[in-house]
């Protein structure tokens, strides 16, 4: 199925692209949402990911699975977006020093994934905040493994790293999360 769909996509078949979007829209959105932790940005960026895919699909050589390639595009788009937001915040802060009245918008401090049930929202906020504080490679690998259920091997292919490197990144991510969440869970058990 994937090979025939890919052949049709590479010839510019728009109906094949509709099928492709239908198959991948949830994966793309969930991946982007888990990285950005902002629903509005995730919706916008998901559309941009599909625009990138449409433009780049003729050059896809099939050296990796199509799904791996899609995840790579998602991650690259998210990285670019996060860098852009960081530059925008820095510029707004610098501008405020010179008296320009620009409203600085901060990331949502209390983002909760829409799939989290009401009774678990407070805990989810704390866990998602801890994930967001991880270094980028740890955050990406952890999110893909725990939130997108990808294997370490799939993550290694997506991130262009060795399997042992991803295992190490995941180990560090888990240790960092244990450290940052220890106090919260310790207080909860009292």
pLDDT digits (tens, 9 = 90+) for 67-111: 889 999 999 998 888 887 776 654 454 444 444 444 444 444 455
Residue-range definition of the domain harbouring residue 70: 1-108
Q: How confident is the model at residue 168 (pLDDT cuts 50, 70, 90)?
A: very high
pLDDT at 3: 77
Residues 94 and 27 in one domain: yes
Q: Are 72 and 27 in contact (CB under 8 A)?
A: no
Rounded distance between C-alpha atoms, residue 82 and residue 32, angstroms: 11
Based on the fold, state whether residues 104 and 121 are members of the same structural domain.
no
Cα separation, 50 vs 43, in Å, equals 11
Q: How far apart are CA 6 and CA 62, in angstroms?
A: 9
| Cα gap 78→91, rounded to integer Å | 20
* Model-wide pTM > 0.85: no
Of the three residues 89, 108, 127, the one that is the final residue of a domain is 108
Question: What's the domain count of the chain?
Answer: 2
Name the pLDDT band for 63 (thresholds 50, 70, 90). Answer: confident
Helices vs strands, H then E, count in the chain: 8, 0
What secondary structure letter does DSSP report for 58?
G
pLDDT-derived band at 147, boundaries 50, 70, 90:
confident
Least confident of 57-71, 83-97, 129-143, 162-176: 83-97
Overall average pLDDT of the 168-173 stretch: 95
Q: Is residue 95 located within the same domain as residue 158?
A: no
> 70 to each of 11, 66, 108, 127, 158, how far by Cα in Å?
18, 6, 27, 27, 9
Binning pLDDT at 50, 70 and 90, where does residue 62 land? confident
């Amino acid at each position: 199925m994937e090979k025939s769909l890919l052949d049709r996509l590479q010839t510019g078949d728009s109906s094949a692209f509709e099928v492709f979007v239908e198959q991948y829209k949830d994966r793309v959105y969930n991946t982007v949402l888990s990285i950005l932790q902002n629903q509005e940005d995730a919706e916008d960026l998901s559309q941009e990911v599909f625009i990138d895919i449409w433009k780049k699909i003729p050059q896809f050589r099939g050296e990796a699975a199509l799904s791996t390639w899609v995840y790579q595009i998602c991650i690259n788009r998210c990285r670019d977006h996060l860098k852009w937001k960081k530059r925008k915040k820095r510029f707004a802060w610098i501008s405020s020093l010179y008296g320009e009245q620009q409203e600085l918008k901060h990331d949502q401090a209390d983002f909760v994934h829409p799939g989290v049930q009401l009774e678990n929202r407070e805990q989810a906020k704390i866990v998602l905040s801890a994930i967001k504080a991880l270094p980028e490679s740890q955050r990406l690998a952890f999110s893909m493994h725990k939130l997108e259920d990808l294997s370490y091997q799939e993550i290694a292919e997506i991130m262009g790293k060795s399997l042992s490197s991803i295992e190490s990144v995941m180990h560090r991510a888990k240790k960092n999360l244990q450290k940052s969440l220890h106090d919260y869970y310790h207080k909860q058990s009292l």
